[in-house]
Amino acid sequence: MDTVQNVVATEPDKVTGYRSFHLGSFAFSRDAYFVTIKWPGKGETRSHQLPADAFLRALMRDVAWGFFYGWVNFDDVIGTRNHYGRVDLYAGAYNDSLKKAGVDYTEQFATPVITATFKAILADWVNEGFDPFAAPEETGSAFGFKHGDNMAAIERFRIATKRMPGLDGDSPLRDDLPVNRQFQDVAQDEPEILAEPGFEKELRGFNLFKYLSRSDVTWNPSVTSVCKASLFCPTTEEYILPIFHGNDRVEWFVQLSDTIVWEVADKNTGAPRARVTMNAGDVAAMPADIRHKGFSTKRSMLLVWENVTPDLPKRYDRGELKPYPVEF
């Protein structure tokens, strides 16, 4: 067992080629098909398995999003809760059966420590040809014994804009990327911008549909416009959101094209609460007390609208704010 910069890892396994990792009392290992996670519970070692592709897709998002807003459930058992500076890693803590059986376990880590371990797992377990951000039809397989790596795919970072893409010194418009196979019908014209003299560097507009039609990743909201605490985070979606996101605030969805079906469940127990079908033009608020996962058969465009007003999670926790935004 070696410890390098807070990462505790074994030598590569002689058969599979993969390292195993330890983080606090958690142990992570993988084989050709599955990831196995172990933790202490009621005096014994408990374990849980996930398919390797699903685990790596979830882990990739957790790392790229800096643990996101609130809870990132990899599945019904494993996940993380962001305390913004520290992160809980849990097994069964938000699963009614495991919680009632008393075999759940949570351990808190400083964000840089858990990030370093998660990045090291991605670096070791993502094989050549597998891109955890890509739609299943657009990537090679995650399975098999260790063969190569894909550092270019896992070091790709979520684009975050200071004000709006295309403004001087801000994020690029990514015209260099090809139009995705499922967005061939999306118009590629740009708006005409006629600024008053002196305001040429202040005024900017771009074709958001064109921008999104060229996204090479799925289920990865990029912060594309910032106005005080209001973040517009559009994204392109195909297949399944690799995590069950547990909200620590209300967030809004605006379905820009095609269709996404959302499974909505209780944040704490996982009990099903709703199934929401959103077609192009539909708008929905996701409450602060739920978890949700989306399904998109054809690649679609979604605008996720986030509210980063400071202290929102605490205000919801204290019951000062209702979990939903509108009283009917």
Convert residues 246-265 into a mask of x (bound to ligand PHB by CB under 6 A) and - (unbound). -----x--------------
Q: Residues near 188 by Cβ (< 8 Å), separated by ≥ 6?
A: 179, 207, 210, 213
Using the contact rule CB under 5 A, the part of the chain among 28-36, 51-59, 120-128, 245-253 near Fe ion is 245-253
> How many CB atoms within 10 Å of residue 197?
5
- Given the complex with Fe ion, which of 21 and 232 has the nearer CB atom? 232
Distance of alpha carbon 285 from alpha carbon 251, whole angstroms: 6
Q: Does 63 bind ligand PHB (CB under 6 A)?
A: no
- Given the complex with Fe ion, which of 82 and 213 has the nearer CB atom? 82
Q: Does 235 bind ligand PHB (CB under 6 A)?
A: yes
Distance of alpha carbon 116 from alpha carbon 279, whole angstroms: 39
Among 55, 71, 74, 219, binds ligand PHB (CB under 6 A): 219
Report the residue number whose CB is nearest to ligand PHB. Answer: 245
Half-sphere exposure of 10 (CA within 13 A, CB side): 14
Q: Does 241 bind ligand PHB (CB under 6 A)?
A: yes
219 binds, among ligand PHB, Fe ion, none (CB under 5 to 8 A by kind): ligand PHB
Q: Does 291 bind ligand PHB (CB under 6 A)?
A: no
Length of the chain: 328
Cα dist from 193 to 189, 211, 231, 278, whole Å: 12, 17, 23, 32
Distance of alpha carbon 121 from alpha carbon 178, whole angstroms: 30
- Given the complex with Fe ion, which of 121 and 241 has the nearer CB atom? 241
Sites of contact with ligand PHB (CB under 6 A): 219-221, 235, 237, 241, 245, 251, 302, 304
